[in-house]
Amino acid sequence: MAAPVASKAGSAGTTSKPPFPELDFRSGARVEELNKLIQEFTKHDQREYDDQRALEIHTAKDFIFSMLGMVQKLDQKLPVANEYLLLSGGVREGVVDIDLDELNVYARGTDYDMDFTLLVPALKLHDRNQPVTLDMRHSALCHSWLSLRLFDEGTISKWKDCCTIVDHINGATNYFFSPTKVADWFYESISIVLSEIQKKPQRGMPKVEKVEKNGTIISIILGVGSSRMLYDIVPVVSFKGWPAVAQSWLMENHFWDGKITEEEVISGFYLVPACSYKGKKDNEWRLSFARSEVQLKKCISSSLMQAYQACKAIIIKLLSRPKAISPYHLRSMMLWACDRLPASYLAQEDYAAHFLLGLIDDLQHCLVNKMCPNYFIPQCNMLEHLSEDTVMLHARKLSSVRSDPAEHLRTAIEHVKAANRLTLELQRRGSTTSIPSPQSDGGDTNQPDDRLAKKLQQLVTENPGKSISVFINPDDVTRPHFRIDDKFF
């Protein structure tokens, strides 16, 4: 092969300059440095769990499920064989679309080490093959009232004390399932059960450090050994199938086409206890597609997820006052970006910095235009109720991030490192007094515990950030019944 011909510049004795490092035009930050900062944030944010921590996670989960079994037995209101959806990350992390302004502030490291959201169906409508039509005559888009006329007389009799009653001119009485009354009942029932459990503490039982009602969710912080786990428990109404109001969304092209089946995406949805800005809190529920989002998450590249997590950490701190933007808004924008951009572009492993900057730009664009469509019901604008002053205040804050993303990433890294240091300090202090597992007699850990701990560690390390669907029968809480995506354990 012939040698390449030298250019004129080369023959003149000049040396060619090395390629200039890729820069972010707006801030001047080096893209390579931003990528490294995002990787560092991910390393500290996604910690690996040892056998002991994995066993503590399992012990806390079993305690929560046993407690819910006892709640069911109190007055038989909850379905006997229920299906829960367990999501990694608390409500404050944006795993479900619930308003954050009624929630107490909890901080990782200070208040808890790990957080989960558990959706617990109070009612189930699981026998429908056609699109589900909801009563949206009184509600804003993406919200609905729920009449107990859809259920049998036994269900109405059990739940009528958790309903608002509307008498019609023709003399008929309609019972509307009330999210606030259901949440009140749920909190009271959980409090009764926990009080009974604590009267007869068993060896290895988690310590209940906090039980609080935050709006319509119940937040429980458990201490297990040297771990503190936050469970945000949300009473919901569970449906199989797909709501008619979101039927047109299925007709569009989406990023997940060909990667997962439509049946997986539309297997079910929920009503969560949250109302619209001008809605009636006692009657109005919000549609949630958390089950579908678990499936869609499988189709999102790791580099985009890393950028999303880093961006979320930045905005949670920066946009906390006044509470107008939640991480769920950012999640919706990420899903829209997946539909808008080529899959080959989003799959680039070294593009996390580009994705982070793009998410910040998208969020700022949504604020300036006061427009953030719900991913599943695009005609619903999730920012419609905000004032001009509020959106411009947050847009200006985001402008400061966009001007120096590296500095805000460093701050996010310091926050997560500080939280981890607090957790490690608690572990060190508690190492000599850690609670033995319920199966242990305080002596040597037996072989089944070893196997369980190793199995749980493998699940946690192999499925970082994935959501877990749990199937439980309150009459049998002796066996694990959980699923990570499509795998059962």
Q: Three-state SS string across the chain, please?
A: CCCCCCCHHHHCCCCCCCCCCCECCCCCCEHHHHHHHHHHHHHHHCCCCCHHHHHHHHHHHHHHHHHHHHHHHHHCCCCCCEEEEEEECCHHHCCCCCCCCCCCCCCECCCECEEEEEEEEEEEECCCCCCECCECCCCCCCEEECEHHHCCHHHHHHHHHHEEEEECCCCCEEEEECHHHHHHHHHHHHHHHHHHHHHCCCCCCCEEEEEEEECCEEEEEEEECCEEEEEEEEEEEEEECCEHHHHHHHHCCCCCECCECHHHHCCEEEEECCCCCCCCCCCCEEEECHHHHHHHHCCCCHHHHHHHHHHHHHHHHHCCCCCCCCHHHHHHHHHHHHHHCCHHHHCCCCCHHHHHHHHHHHHHHHHHHCCCECCCCCCCECCCCCCHHHHHHHHHHHHHHHHCHHHHHHHHHHHHHHHHHHHHHHHHHHCCCCCCCCCCCCCCCCHHHHHHHHHHHHHHHHCCCCCEEEEEECCECCCCCEEECCEEC
pLDDT category at 204 given cuts 50, 70, 90 is confident
**Are the CB atoms for 151 and 123 separated by under 8 Å?**
yes
* pLDDT given at position 353: 97
* pLDDT given at position 316: 87
Q: Give mean pLDDT, residues 201-208.
A: 87
* pLDDT given at position 462: 55
pLDDT category at 201 given cuts 50, 70, 90 is confident
**Are the CB atoms for 85 and 290 separated by under 8 Å?**
yes
pLDDT category at 487 given cuts 50, 70, 90 is very low
pLDDT category at 352 given cuts 50, 70, 90 is very high
Residue written as tokens 């947050």? Answer: 394
* pLDDT given at position 170: 64
Please give the model's pTM, rounded to 2 decimal places.
Answer: 0.84
* pLDDT given at position 320: 74
Of 323-332, 434-443, 446-455, which range is least confident? 434-443
Residue 7 Ramachandran class (φ > 0 left, ψ -120 to 50 alpha, else beta): beta
Name the most confidently modeled range: 223-232, 336-345, 430-439: 336-345
**Are the CB atoms for 456 and 55 separated by under 8 Å?**
yes
* pLDDT given at position 446: 34
pLDDT category at 489 given cuts 50, 70, 90 is very low
* pLDDT given at position 442: 33
Q: Give mean pLDDT, residues 477-489.
A: 46
pLDDT category at 49 given cuts 50, 70, 90 is low
Q: What does the alpha-carbon distance between residue 179 and residue 158 come to, in Å, rounded to a whole number?
A: 15
* 101 or 255: which leads in pLDDT: 255
The 10s digit of each residue's pLDDT in 142-181 is 999 999 988 888 889 999 999 999 876 666 788 999 999 9
* pLDDT given at position 24: 87
Percent residues over pLDDT 70 in the chain: 81
* pLDDT given at position 423: 85
Q: What does the alpha-carbon distance between residue 84 and residue 470 come to, in Å, rounded to a whole number?
A: 5
214 pLDDT above the threshold of 50: yes
470 pLDDT above the threshold of 60: no
**Are the CB atoms for 121 and 236 separated by under 8 Å?**
yes
Closest by CA to 413, choosing from 306, 334, 301, is 306
431 pLDDT above the threshold of 70: no
Task: Supply the mean pLDDT for the chain.
Answer: 84
